[in-house]
Structure 1
Amino acid sequence: MKFSVKLIAAVLCAAMLCVPTLAAGSSDAPGAGTYVPDPQYTMAWGTATWQDNGSLLVRKSGENKPTDGMALWTKNAIVLDAISGEPVDAKSIKDGSTVYAWLGAQTAMTMSLPPQVTPELLLVNIPADFKVPQYDVIVRANYIMKGIPGYSGMAITLSDGTACQVWQDAAVTPYLTRNRVTYQDLLPGTRVLVWADDEGQASRVIVFPYEYKGGLSLNGNGFLCVNGYLTVYPPALRRPYNDERLYAPIRAVAEAAGYSVSWDNEFGVTVKDGSDILFQICPDTKLAHGPAAADRHSLAGPCLIADGVTYLEAGDLAHLLGMFYGG
């Protein structure tokens, strides 16, 4: 498939995929704006040397002091071959070889020098001048010409702002399972290892286990997408406090995610998963009730109501629906 054909497909995708809830607005509508990267991982790389205590000391060129570098513990890390993506026994890593490690935002690191840490992912067996694949979390995902044979794909944005296109002919495989996955499984919140060229065209993607029921994301034009589909137009979104908090209509998002929404005179908005109540919340309150709110005492902002439409801060709404929101 030629890149020029794919580029044309990408340009046309918005016209074919829009599922509006309100009329389109201007580019300065509440949902619009350039995505500001919020990297979820720190990458460390360098030459590896085994230490007497069993850790793997990684140093970049020029780091020669005893306190330089980073000591990696490999016992609970995912260790993969950089070319094949296959699992590798950490003990096979040779002194003097180059490794790349990804540390999660919540990864605990000792205060010692050099610091000691267990990476989430470690890539090994890296040839010289090889473009190392990238490990990250998808924060935005939009279909490209979904359903058109030979021209379908997913445009994804990673947490550090890297944009990639994963077409249906790319090799998309799961990590350590035989489950079938495709480009359509690349939803916000998905951890991936992506082999892409300098133009962002992915040839291969490894998909790691998904921890959410779906994902919410803003595309580059300010549309709120639910599981990759354009669902809420910018004018239907709100930023009532003139800050970064984005408020989304509860009904539009929840119904697009497969839930039912109704109104209860006593408990306010009621969102159900089948016959089971997921959560309930009244306007002008910051306290949701129900199983989905069991681990959260209050929300980032109150439930708002305007013209008969109830809103919640997008991150809060995603959490209550069991979905990922990358901002």
Structure 2
Amino acid sequence: MKFSVKLIAAALCAAMLCVPALAAASATGAGAYVPNPQYTVISGTVAHQKDGGLLVSTPAGEPTEDYILWTEGVMILDAVSGEPVDAKAIKDGSTVYAWLGAQTAMTMSLPPQVTPELLLVNVPADYKVPQYDVIVRSDGLTGLGIPNRSGMSVTLSDGMVYQVWQDAQVKPYLTRNRVTYQDLLPGTRVLAWADDKGQASKVIVFPYEYKGSISLDGYGRLYVNSGAVAEPSTLRRPYGDERLYVPIRAVAEAAGYSVSWDKEFGVTVKDGTETVFTILPDSKAVKGTAVPEGDGFHLSGPCLIANGITYLEAGDLAHLLGMFYGG
């Protein structure tokens, strides 16, 4: 299997194989989620450098240049087994695939130098390389004509859709914790082996980095931790662009926070006795433990109020609450 430098978004429809228990993966509606790729993938043959880096020479015809990859602190896995591999065991002339995150820094030198998030090695010729990505949507599956068979349909950030049934091998990365298909929640990073129909046979699950997730289903309903909290009619796109504004109270309370109103401070969101953040309507001045000095976080828009309901842009609110939102 050959990847281009940037993964090409594509959707695999599973309507003939399964029935999503929550919502049809192919359905669209007002405010339906449109994934944004979280990773860039580069591939090629490698050669060790004297300074410890790996020179990756991309295949002929690829619209890219060579790269120097640094391996310190990088997850290096065998492309077939998924087992960890020592950087010193990577052979010159072998094929590697490297995943670069959206925040990955790259030098302006020639060739560019970069530290990937994940490196897959020991790739056999013409092998269908597993996919590393972030889940942005999860829908329950029920098998047609197969009693007691269930699973999860997961949409990745590049638009790929995989079906992970309960009999698929699902295991955690470097721990003995028990994980199942039910742990494939939005915000989860996974490495998935799947056939051309999107049926996953094996999935490695990486540590979850969030307190929960905010997501939309195919009809534009807002979900917090897989539970529906708001219909499309209660959401707002006030600026005519891609920014989605969501009700602060509904989202924060569904995530387990308490929300109150104060004339002086505006909306106050607390985690127990700790003030997570406060913000006034028509303001971008947010204060609280979620925004320490020097954090560099800036709201993409002001807090809005309509019919007594206060709103924040979904990505901003997710950041303040420590939750995942991929929209």
Q: What is the TM-score normalised by the length of structure 2?
A: 0.84
Which runs of no fewer than 5 residues in structure 1 stay unpaired? Answer: 16-26
Counterpart pick for 2:58 among 52, 57, 60: 60
- Aligned-residue offset at 1:143: 3.4
Question: Matches of 1:271 and 1:149 in 2, distance apart?
Answer: 44
Provide, for residues 214-271 of structure 1, a one-character-per-residue CA deviation record: whole Å limited to 9, x for no partner.
Answer: 1112222212221233332111110011111100011211122122222223322222
The 1:119–1:298 alpha-carbon spacing in structure 2 relative to 1, beyond 3 Å, is closer
- Aligned-residue offset at 1:6: 8.3
2:19 is aligned to 9
Question: Matches of 2:246 and 2:94 in 1, distance apart?
Answer: 49
Counterpart pick for 1:103 among 81, 100, 112: 100
Contact 2:18 2:141 in 1 (8 A): no
Question: Matches of 1:255 and 1:326 in 2, distance apart?
Answer: 20
1:165 is aligned to 163
- Aligned-residue offset at 1:181: 2.0
RMSD: 2.8
Count of matched residue pairs: 307
**1:236 lines up with 2:234 in the alignment:** yes
Contact 1:6 1:151 in 2 (8 A): no
Q: What SS does the aligned partner of 2:17 have?
A: helix
The 1:129–1:53 alpha-carbon spacing in structure 2 relative to 1, beyond 3 Å, is same
- Aligned-residue offset at 1:165: 2.1
**1:129 lines up with 2:126 in the alignment:** yes
- Aligned-residue offset at 1:94: 1.5
Question: Matches of 2:174 and 2:235 in 1, distance apart?
Answer: 39
Q: What is the TM-score normalised by the length of structure 1?
A: 0.84
Provide, for residues 168-205 of structure 1, a one-character-per-residue CA deviation record: whole Å limited to 9, x for no partner.
Answer: 22222111112222223222222211111212222211
Which runs of no fewer than 5 residues in structure 2 stay unpaired? Answer: 1-12
Question: Matches of 1:249 and 1:84 in 2, distance apart?
Answer: 44
The 1:173–1:8 alpha-carbon spacing in structure 2 relative to 1, beyond 3 Å, is closer
1:186-205 equivalences in 2 (<5 Å)? 186-205=184-203
- Aligned-residue offset at 1:299: 2.0
Contact 1:175 1:209 in 2 (8 A): yes
State the AA in 1 paired with 2:56.
V
The 1:7–1:225 alpha-carbon spacing in structure 2 relative to 1, beyond 3 Å, is farther
Question: Matches of 1:187 and 1:28 in 2, distance apart?
Answer: 22
Question: Matches of 1:4 and 1:39 in 2, distance apart?
Answer: 21
Question: Matches of 2:23 and 2:297 in 1, distance apart?
Answer: 39
1:302 is aligned to 302
My pick for the range that moved more, 148-157 or 259-268, is 148-157
The 1:256–1:68 alpha-carbon spacing in structure 2 relative to 1, beyond 3 Å, is closer
2:6 is aligned to none
Q: What SS does the aligned partner of 1:251 have?
A: helix
Question: Matches of 1:240 and 1:101 in 2, distance apart?
Answer: 39
The 1:41–1:8 alpha-carbon spacing in structure 2 relative to 1, beyond 3 Å, is closer
State the AA in 2 paired with 1:87.
P
Q: What SS does the aligned partner of 2:22 have?
A: helix
